[in-house]
Structure 1
């Protein structure tokens, strides 16, 4: 079964209700979603709907064979394959792909892969205005957000624009079945991080909070099953559904301390994106726990635990994910430098972002300590 969003462009929805002060705003994103098993077969139909005649397929080097296989379904609409997408969207990679776009009369982009590939598609679409189709193969959720993080000389910066949201997202559960369990787990914790922060964002609202809690719950029940039985179709469907909801949440509200820390750490030390999120998340939740009790209650309920930071830490341990930043390549002498960078231009956060406390948080994550309030 597949579910397709309406073709009509949807206007922003502004609603009022019981959220915080009793007043809130909710703006819907303008995109189309096709969800289900076997929906990759709809790629040709979706390119035709967007008027794409010369599509450039984007992948990482590891997924270029998948890109060729799915791209073949485009027939004469396939103009080329660029298999150079990399973590943290380095601008030099974007510029290399842009030269191909310009020299081959490309009029549309198809990003097949995880956050690295979708990020490249966003960067190219932003620079060219070309339509962008995303086909996620992980649970990162980037395809649902109007956010782009790009890295230049080790510094990662973010920008936000509705133009960054892909025009169509094709969620095919079948494309995730071959995702290795470890990668699935890290990607899923990354998605959960989106929803956790959405629950205490200053612009949180009842709709995104409902999606956040449901998304966390879907991933929390699916990921352990995927570790035990990677081909479990029901678990894969639940995980992809949860990732979709968590990505929507991140796209609808602002980011806070957790994402700031991960952007700093990933950009400065070229750390693996999803694993960084998985390690930092319990510590960021502990930092904000006292300042965001309602959010912690909802996360705990979704995780079926009484302690949100510890529950997130235990879930990562159950999934066999690394618990120490030291284990994924961060040097100990980078702790102070990262803390200094993290307190510059901080994102809105429930608790004030304090230099000493942030350094303690990063140090605890570097050592792999259990989460504790700082």
Structure 2
């Protein structure tokens, strides 16, 4: 991908520092949009208004909740139907694009309801055709081509207002897309190459973001790394790490990015002995003697969260989480996973212990 715009299969991808509004106008014109519904949380209200002031907006929907509860999705779908929206524009993190996906998933509009995503974090959901909905403490995920945004507008300037701590954990969530994709069901040489690029880019960019939060260079590279990592994940599918985090998030409403940051080092420690090629790839991308050591050093450098207890998980919830995770372990996982190993993994994650 070269220049300010590249293509990932049928998805248009714009990298346009400080020109997001212009790119949005181009995309709206491409689809002949006359009735745009904007999805953005209250915290992104002003940014969303500034970016979309030149579009034919018929409704601004601001009820955005992490893990996309079913009842929240139903209200957003009703709003899209009531206002006869012909284009969805999501502005914000993974929760905003997740809600847009939930609307597109059940739209009865002929030809579907296209999404243009404007990420303000490094979530990566904008790249994939994966949707997720939570009901009664259970998060259900699936894939459907209707929910994959038709275009993404990346503008690093929009990430400058993201607090440094959130920037770091959002970037580590992106990092998890690349690593988990290495042993996901559809992993191959192409997804491995993308994963290596994403890991190396994020490992270089995130310390820059932490040290100089208002610097655009680090944030631009972090966005590129997040995009490439999410593309690897989109092609490879969901691995053990994401299965664990989706169960924890859906059952216990844990913060999404922080949960990924806590759990990933433990999944790496469990899986890498059975995946020597992936282990070498991650170690090489990090310039470390081993994948586990490289990840541990990066997490220390970024002062990343280490404990599920600190995120609000009760220790008594671990056995129930294990029962929910075990049937979801992909057949492609490089090592056989038992209930005992999952209990050990979640206990260590809960305590904040270093991975063994």
Same fold? TM cut 0.5: yes
Structure 1 equivalent of residue 32 of structure 2: 51
Distance 1:311 1:329 in 2: 27
Alpha-carbon distance in structure 2 between the residues aligned to 1:337 and 1:317:
30
Distance apart, 1:286 and its partner CA: 0.6
Which stretches in structure 1 are left out of the alignment for 5+ residues? 7-27
Which residue is equivalent to 1:369?
Answer: 353
Residue 2 of structure 1 deviates from its aligned partner by: 5.2
**Does 2:35 match 1:34?**
no
Q: Indicate which of 125, 133, 136 corresponds to 2:104.
A: 125
Paired residue for 1:191? 174
Matched residue, 2:199: 216
TM-score, length-scaled by structure 1? 0.90
| Alignment counterpart, residue 65 of structure 1, candidates 18, 38, 46 | 46
Q: Does 1:111 align with 2:101?
A: no
The secondary structure found in structure 2 opposite 1:149 is strand
How far did residue 38 of structure 1 move? 2.1
What CA RMSD, in Å, does the superposition of the two structures yield over aligned residues?
Answer: 1.4
**Stretches of structure 2 lacking an aligned partner (at least 5 in a row):** none
Matched residue SS, 2:337? coil
User: Is the 2:37–2:57 contact (alpha carbons within 8 Å) kept by the matching residues of 1?
Assistant: yes
Matched ranges for 1:3-42 at <5 A: 3-5=4-6, 29-40=9-20, 41-42=22-23
Match of 1:170 among 130, 153, 165: 153
Match of 1:356 among 334, 340, 346: 340
- 1:187 CA drift (Å): 0.7
Q: Greater CA deviation, 58-67 or 362-371?
A: 58-67
Query: How much does 1:309 deviate?
Result: 2.3
Report if the CA contact (8 A) 2:283-2:290 is conserved. Answer: yes
Q: Distance in 2 between matches of 1:363 and 1:57?
A: 41
Matches of 2:292 and 2:32 in 1, distance apart? 47
Which among 262, 265, 285 is matched to residue 279 of structure 1? 262
Distance 2:38 2:254 in 1: 26
Secondary structure in 1 aligned to 2:116?
Answer: strand
Equivalent residues of 1:201, 1:350 under 8 A apart: no
CA contact (8 A) 1:326 1:332 kept: yes
Structure 1 runs of 4+ with >6 Å offset: none
